[in-house]
Structure formats: C-alpha cells, structure tokens
C-alpha cells in the first residue's frame, strides 16, 4: 500500500486530521505529508481540503482516486447496509473454519475498526435467523453453522435483492433518457397482437432493454458484428422482428442490419409465446446455439445450484440464458462487447446478484478463453435478477395458462380482466388457441379455458365465461384459495416426512402414565441417535415448569435445542395415558438441533393450531399406520 493510498484511507476513516497526526502515524515528515496531499490535489483537484482543524476529504472523489491507484474498478461499500451485505457474502462463501482479521477488513473497506465492529453486530443478528453464529476471538472472526443453512441464507438474500421489480420500465427510462421507452413498449405490444403473440410482464422489460441498447449502439455507429448462424426467414418471429425494426427505424432515424434483426428474432423467440406454440424448446435449442454453448450453460446452472442453492434449470430461463450466452460468445470473439448504462446500478443495488454474475463470468472465461467487461457482467446480472424475481413471484402466486381458441383479441381482454382482479394472486405465463398445446405445459398450477376441453389433464382446469362475470370471479377466487391450500399441505407433508420417520411412529397401548411414556420415547430417540443422555432430564425439567398436555394430546420437549438431529416421535394409544391432570391418547415428543431452528419455526405453530381442534385430534388418533397419520395431519389444513 503506497503513501497516497494510506493518507486517503486515514482521512476516509476519520477527519479532519492535522498534518502532524498524519506525519506521526505514517512515519514521515510534515513537509512530506503536505507534498503528497499537493500531488493528490494536483492530479485530482479538490479531493482534500484544509482548514485550521486539519485536512478533510471528499469521500466520493476519494473512492475514484483509490480505484485509479488500485488499477481496477473495485466497488467499495460506502453505506452501512452495503458493508453488512459485503460481510455476509464474505462469511457465507467462506470455507469451514476460515477466519478474518478485523483490521484487514477495515483496511479493505477504508473504514475504522469501530465501524466494522458495529456492522458485525448487525451481521450477527441476521445470521442468527438462519441458525448460524458469528464467532469472534481477539482480532479474528468467523462463521459457524451447517453448510445448508449458509446456502439457505445466501439464496434468501439473493431473492430479497430481486424483490421490488428487478428492472422496471421506469428504471429503463431513467437510464435511457434520450430513448422513448414507452414507444418501444407500444410497438412491441401492438405488433405482438397483430401476429397473435403473448409476452408476460417479466419478459417485456427484458425485451425492451435489449432493443433500447440496440438503438443506442446503432446511434453510436456501432453496428452488430457478423458471425451469427443464418436465420430461417420463414419464421414468424423473423417477420415480427423486421416489422419492429422498421417502425423503430422510422421513429429513431436509424438502420438495423441483418445481424441485428437476427438478434432481435432470437430475443422474441426466447421471450414471447406464439399462440401456435412454434418456438424454441429444450429439445431444439441445440440447433440454434450448438452443443458446446449448451453444455457450457448447463455447467453454469449446475455451479449456481451447488454454490447458492438456487435452481435455474427451468426451460424458460435455460432457453433465454443460453441464447444470451451464445450471442455473448459471438460478440467477444469479434471484439464487440456491449455497453450497458445500467452497470453501476446493478453493482450498487444488487451486489450479491452481481457477485453471482461475476462468478458465472469467471467460469465462462475459463471455459472459452473469451474476454468480458463489467457491462457484459451486468447483462448476466439482469438475466439472473429477472429469473429470481419470477421464481419468487411464482412461489407466492399461482401460475396460470389461458386457453381461448380462435379469439385472440377477446383472449387479451380476458387476460386484462383477470389481471385486474387477481394480479396479487396469479401470474399468467401462457395464452393458447390450440388445445394440444396444453399437453406440453410444465409447472402450471391452473388452466383457465373459455370452452370445454376434449383432453384429460392432471392440472386443475377452470372454465370461465369470456367476460369474467361476478359469478366467474367468485368461483375463480375459490379455486385460487384451494390451490394455495394444497401448496401449504404439500409443504407441511414435506416437513413431516422429513421429521417423522416410520420407525418414530407407533401405536402403543401399554404406556399408562406420563413418566413411563417419556422414558420410553426418550429411549427410542437415543437408540436412533437423535439425542444425548441429558435429554431425558431436560424434558422432565420442562414438564415441571408447565405441563405440555393440552386436551387429549401432549407435546413433551426440551427447552434446549441440543439434539444431534431434529425429529418428532409419535405415540398413539387407544387407552388413555395419565398426564398430570389430563388424560391423553396422542403424544408428540419433539427434539431440535440448534442448526435447524427454522424447521421448528415452520411447523410448531402449524401443528399446535391443527391439534387445537378436537375433531382433528380424533381423526389423527384413529390413524392405523404411519402413512395414514401423515395424511390425517396434512388434511387437517383447512
């Protein structure tokens, strides 16, 4: 670290500082300090100012100077929130038992040690929510906890970054001030309607962004390079791209070449749905991009799943992302990398998604030997952020396909009516006019049709009148509620089968009192290596504080989360078991590992709510098998 960098760092951490203080800490003379400050201000005017109290620094300019000194575009977190995210990302991606020095981190982020200590307090609170611990000893700190909890937290932060409309059309207009974004949107929508194409809300902003970038590039006289594969000019998407280009050329006074129209064709293929369903699929994707490119994308998707616990293998993302990587490889090999006005926003607003994009870019470079810049990395960030936003919405909303044969204009009207009343509950992903297309659908929760279907489908189907009357809306709302209920049931079933193994379920009529029952169940936990020898005493201490019997069921457990692994032990007894002043027929003994506290939070309230209704308990107690027991609890969700 050179003297100039040290001076700037010291002033960023604390200001004002006198020349004598700087002199003492740097081990140089006062005159030398003044000479260095003069050099900095000569090269970077008005960076450091002086007064009777000492030297002060303009932090914004200081970061620019540091970037130049470091010789790279190193993004330095500048706010408390940015530093917390930086520290979390660093810890969550660290190796087991890897330690960090608080002074090194302070130097790296150009802040004081007290600032780092304050940020680590926030980090610790956030880690605790995912059963992770921040351990510190002396000047060193590290993270402790299960790897799966690290990945769970990392993916949760990534999804949270994509919360508020990853890139909206308003954001695009702010970034492209000399390009009419609403006009591009209108041209796309009008021509899509003409050719009976449908594009969902998530894909529209993506397509508008790429077209806006093309316009800006052409205005700068940087036309798209040659080298792409020949396009089938009989494709409707090609005709559609030509018409979009023609209208854009008239308005913006520019000219698209054949390669740019080819790229637009691929963008339309990957983002829009033809009502004839003739588009790129997983099966024919290799024909467009080649085997090497497709294999590379599969490697990238596998790496993301391994590192971040995020599954990006959906057909929609695979097709879109593969076509993007295909074009990226062509651009790089022809020394024509894209410019992206959104790069700075991507880095500062979505630091973890951008970091994930950097990791993807490193793999691409290693596998292909191409070169990439920050703008291309930001493009990858855009793709990742969009799919994360889509996934998060689909997880909380119902995915819907609409079948409306032969009436495209009316189907669009129906879509608008449905969005008006149910936009908070559903995502419309497809519109179809041919019945056989419905057989090719994947990951759809509901099909809304305007006519009776002649084919049998596993997916729920709701027949609606074209104009969505009040009666239709009421029925559709009931179906949405039922589908959401089924999703809740499947989630509960997944947790129950994870926690209650068949060997932990038993019908037993020989246990007549609380003491015998607890001893018996603890022993079963011990034999299956769930708990240590102190668990029995902990359960008894909890019972002494307050009985865990409620009505005719009991939930004995320890107040400590020190089990080897989390589990639930079940006893159903035809004969009543004496439990203090109660008589119970169902006992659920629970043990929890501290690293799986989130499971406790997920299921404890749900189970107690279900058991609070006596009718539910009666049905559960009548279960004769493990499978029937799980079904009884799951089906109690109303």
Q: Is the pLDDT confidence value at 598 over 80?
A: no
pLDDT computed for residue 408 by the predictor? 54
**Has residue 573 got a pLDDT over 90?**
yes
pLDDT at residue 224 in the model: 54
Q: What pLDDT was estimated at residue 70?
A: 56
**Alpha-carbon torsion, ordered 590, 591, 593, 597, to 10 deg:** 30
Give the pairing type, strands 461-463 and 446-449: parallel
Q: What is the pLDDT of residues 333-386, one digit of tens each?
A: 777 666 767 777 777 778 778 888 888 988 998 899 888 888 888 888 888 887
Q: Kindly state the average pLDDT of the residues 303-318.
A: 80
| pLDDT score of 284 | 76
- Indicate the pLDDT class of residue 523, thresholds 50, 70 and 90: very high
Looking at residue 587, what is its pLDDT? Answer: 95
Least confident of 80-94, 157-171, 266-280, 435-449: 266-280
Over residues 209-220, mean pLDDT: 80
Is the Cβ–Cβ distance between 553 and 629 less than 8 Å? no
The percent of residues in the chain predicted with pLDDT above 90, rounded, is 24
Q: Round to the nearest angstrom and report the end-to-end CA distance of the chain.
A: 64
Q: Residue 323: is it exposed, middle or buried by C-beta count within 10 angstroms (0-12/13-18/19+)?
A: buried
DSSP state of 255: -
pLDDT (tens digit per residue) in 471-498:
888 999 999 999 988 888 888 898 899 8
Answer whether 0.95 is exceeded by the pTM: no
How high is the pLDDT of residue 277?
40
pLDDT of amino acid 261: 85
Confidence of residue 435 (pLDDT cuts 50, 70, 90): confident
pLDDT above 60: residue 227:
no
pLDDT at 275 exceeding the cut of 50: no
pLDDT at 511 over 70: yes
Structure-token pair, residue 83: 């530093």
199: pLDDT strictly greater than 90: no
Q: How confident is the model at residue 164 (pLDDT cuts 50, 70, 90)?
A: very low
Beta-carbon contacts of residue 620 (< 8 Å; ≥ 6 apart)? 572, 586, 611, 629, 632, 633, 636
């Amino acid at each position: 670290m050179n003297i100039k960098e040290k001076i700037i760092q010291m002033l960023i951490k604390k200001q004002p500082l006198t020349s004598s203080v700087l002199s003492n800490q740097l081990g140089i003379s006062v005159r030398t300090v003044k000479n260095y400050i003069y050099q900095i201000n000569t090269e970077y005017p008005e960076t450091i100012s002086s007064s009777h109290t000492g030297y002060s620094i303009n932090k914004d300019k200081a970061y620019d100077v540091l970037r130049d000194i470091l010789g790279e575009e190193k993004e330095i977190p500048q706010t408390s929130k940015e530093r917390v995210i930086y520290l979390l990302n660093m810890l969550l991606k660290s190796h087991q038992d890897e330690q960090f020095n608080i002074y090194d981190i302070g130097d790296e982020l150009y802040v004081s040690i007290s600032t780092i200590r304050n940020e680590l307090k926030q980090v610790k609170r956030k880690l605790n929510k995912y059963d992770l611990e921040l351990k510190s000893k002396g000047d060193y700190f590290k993270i402790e906890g299960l790897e799966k909890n690290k990945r769970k937290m990392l993916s949760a932060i990534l999804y949270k970054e994509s919360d508020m409309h990853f890139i909206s059309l308003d954001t695009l207009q702010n970034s492209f001030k000399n390009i009419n974004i609403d006009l591009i949107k209108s041209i796309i929508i009008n021509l899509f309607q003409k050719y009976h194409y449908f594009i969902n809300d998530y894909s529209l902003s993506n397509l508008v962004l790429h077209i806006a970038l093309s316009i800006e590039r052409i205005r700068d006289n940087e036309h798209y390079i040659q080298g792409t594969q020949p396009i089938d000019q009989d494709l409707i998407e090609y005709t559609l791209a030509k018409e979009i280009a023609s209208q854009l050329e008239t308005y913006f006074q520019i000219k698209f070449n054949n390669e740019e129209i080819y790229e637009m064709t691929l963008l339309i293929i990957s983002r829009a749905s033809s009502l004839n369903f003739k588009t790129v699929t997983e099966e024919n994707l290799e024909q467009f991009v080649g085997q090497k490119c497709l294999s590379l994308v599969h490697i990238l998707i596998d790496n993301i799943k391994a590192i971040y616990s995020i599954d990006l293998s959906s057909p929609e993302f695979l097709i879109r992302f593969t076509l993007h990587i295909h074009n990226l490889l062509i651009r790089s090999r022809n020394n024509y990398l894209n410019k992206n006005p959104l790069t700075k926003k991507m880095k500062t607003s979505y630091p973890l998604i951008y970091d994930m994009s950097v990791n993807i870019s490193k793999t691409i470079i290693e596998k292909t030997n191409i070169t990439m810049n920050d703008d291309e990395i930001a493009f990858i960030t855009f793709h990742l952020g969009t799919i994360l936003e889509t996934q998060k919405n689909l997880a909380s909303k119902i995915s819907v396909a609409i079948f409306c044969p032969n009436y495209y204009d009316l189907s669009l009207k129906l879509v608008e009516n449905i969005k008006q009343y149910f936009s908070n509950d559903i995502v419309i992903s497809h519109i179809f006019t041919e019945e056989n297309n419905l057989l090719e659908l994947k990951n759809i929760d509901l099909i809304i049709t305007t006519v009776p279907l002649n084919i049998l489908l596993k997916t729920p189907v709701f027949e609606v009148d074209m104009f969505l009357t009040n009666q239709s809306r009421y029925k559709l709302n009931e179906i949405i509620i039922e589908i959401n209920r089924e999703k809740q049931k499947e989630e509960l079933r997944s947790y129950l089968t994870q926690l209650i193994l068949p060997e932990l379920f038993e019908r037993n009529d020989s246990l007549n009192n609380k003491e015998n029952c607890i001893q018996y169940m603890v022993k079963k936990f011990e034999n299956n290596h769930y708990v240590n020898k102190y668990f029995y005493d902990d359960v008894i201490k909890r019972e002494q504080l307050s009985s865990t019997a409620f009505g005719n069921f009991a939930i004995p457990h320890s107040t400590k989360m020190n089990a080897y692994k989390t589990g639930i032990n079940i006893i159903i007894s035809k004969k009543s078991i004496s439990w203090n002043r109660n008589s119970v027929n169902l006992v659920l003994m629970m043990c929890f590992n501290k690293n799986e506290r989130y499971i406790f939070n997920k299921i404890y309230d749900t189970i107690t709510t279900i058991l609070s209704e006596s009718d539910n308990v009666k049905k559960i107690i009548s279960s004769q098998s493990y499978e029937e027991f799980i079904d009884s609890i799951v089906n109690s969700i109303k």
